[in-house]
Structure 1
Amino acid sequence: MGTSDDRAPLPIPADTADLRSGPPLHDACAPLRALVGVWRGSGEVDYPSIAGPYRFGQQVTISHDGRPFLRHEARAWLLDAAGQVIRPAAWETGWWRPQPDGTLELLITHCTGILELFYGTASPHRIELSTDTVVRTASAKDVEAARRSYAFSDADALDYAESRAMVGLPMTPHVTARLDRLA
């Protein structure tokens, strides 16, 4: 089985996570300019229904192709106490869709069978989002709602926090991470 690197290039321009190359960022995406890039770091996941907390590593790639949305991909892996990889963990893909009124839509699909539609706002140093809708497959965990916060502590660091209402519990902190800009 090949990887995406084994395939012939598409006959259209590739998306980019580097604002110095590729098509210019669409004006509608200007409020999210600081988010575009490749981010990697580590954090902690915990919830009353799991035997945590657990350490994890994560890479988030936010890219664009010049149209009025951004592509989102986040992959995570569990870490042991020494920081060594135990196994792959969460994987999500989606789309950031800034709106003319200044609000944001974020559509996220998780490999675990959960689809989330977030609405929120962006300021120069912070993005706040809450779910409007959560859809899940019959085999997915019972997730009712989520909130996400992204904060830029400086140009090269992104702090991320997520709370969830799931498995019958109220909105509870679930994930925190600090990611550094790679590109």
Structure 2
Amino acid sequence: MTGPTELPVPDTVDVRSGPEVSDQLLSLLPLLGEWHGEGVMTGTAAGSAQDVRFGQWMRFSHDGRGFLAYESRTWRLTDEGRIVGPDVRETGFWRPRGDDDVELLTASPEGLVEIYVGRARTTTSWELTSDVVARTPDAADVTRAVRLYGLVEGALMYAIDRAGADDPLRPTMSARLERLR
């Protein structure tokens, strides 16, 4: 049995089409859309002795309810910019709570689930700290994380810092992404 190629319920990245955007999403509205760009993963996070370049596609969409669906895919790049293969993948939800409070729930196929709480620092920046980190036995040793997202001159920039049981909080990955739509 084959299914439809389109879902019967809209999931849109464009405020001009699809369902009306919930008023709850006003503090997150600038994130809505698709983003593409490059970043750097620190060597320790990438499992190598040196930092690793990556390409990234990120999408924030809505279906009319009071949350943004979030999806991120990365791929490793050589120093010359050639694609080596797929890398970190993540999915989740951004949930506004009150005027400036925000929650972020993420899951990755590497066995890491994180729940963040934070605030919109301005109308174009968000700072989140992990509240819960759960991992499978073979996942990376992560016990705490901090994420900072911001729009700078039209680009979405972010940084993720993580700590392990015996390691202090340190940079893990960061990127600069341009809006596709």
Q: TM-score, normalised by structure 2?
A: 0.92
SS at match of 1:24: coil
Q: Distance in 2 between matches of 1:42 and 1:77?
A: 9
**Structure 1 unpaired stretches of 5+:** none
> Runs of 5+ in structure 2 lacking a partner?
none
Q: Give the alignment's Cα RMSD to 1 decimal.
A: 1.6
* AA of the residue aligned to 1:127: W
Alpha-carbon separation, structure 1, partners of 2:105 and 2:174: 20
Q: How does 1:142-153 map to 2 (within 5 A)?
A: 142-153=141-152
- Once residues 31 and 153 of structure 2 are traced to their aligned partners in structure 1, the CA distance between those partners, rounded to angstroms, is 12
The 1:81–1:150 alpha-carbon spacing in structure 2 relative to 1, beyond 3 Å, is: same
Once residues 102 and 159 of structure 1 are traced to their aligned partners in structure 2, the CA distance between those partners, rounded to angstroms, is 19
2:66 — aligned with what? Answer: 68
SS at match of 1:149: strand
Shift of 1:35: 0.3
Q: Summarize deviations over 1:141-176 as a string: whole Å, max 9, x none.
A: 111111111111123x11111100026311001111
Structural mapping, 1:1-183, within 5 Å: 7-11=4-8, 13-48=9-44, 50=47, 51-122=49-120, 123-155=122-154, 157-166=155-164, 168-183=166-181
Q: Which amino acid aligns with 1:36?
A: L
SS of equivalent to 2:28: helix
Query: What is the SS of the residue equivalent to 1:143?
Result: coil
Deviation at 1:139, TM superposition (A): 1.5
Contact kept? 1:150, 1:158, Cα under 8 Å: yes
**Is the Cα contact below 8 Å between 2:27 and 2:99 reproduced in 1?**
no
Matched-pair contact (CA < 8 Å) for 2:40–2:174 = yes
> Secondary structure at 1:29's aligned position in 2?
helix
Shift of 1:132: 0.5
What is the alpha-carbon distance in structure 2 between the residues aligned to residue 10 and residue 176 of structure 1? 33
2: CA distance, partners of 1:47 / 1:135: 23
List structure 1 segments (4+ residues) > 6 angstroms apart after TM superposition. none
In 1, Cα distance between equivalents of 2:151 and 2:180: 14
Distance in 2, Cα, partners of 1:35 & 1:118: 17
Q: Percent identity?
A: 41
Query: How many aligned positions are there?
Result: 177
State the one-letter code of the partner of 2:19.
P
* Superposed CA offset, 1:14-35 (max 9, x none): 2111111111210000011100
Equivalent residues of 2:33, 2:59 under 8 A apart: yes
**Structure 2 CA distance for aligned equivalents of residues 170 and 24 of structure 1:** 43
Contact 1:40 1:181 in 2 (8 A): yes
Report if aligned partners of 1:47, 1:172 keep a CA contact under 8 Å in 2: no
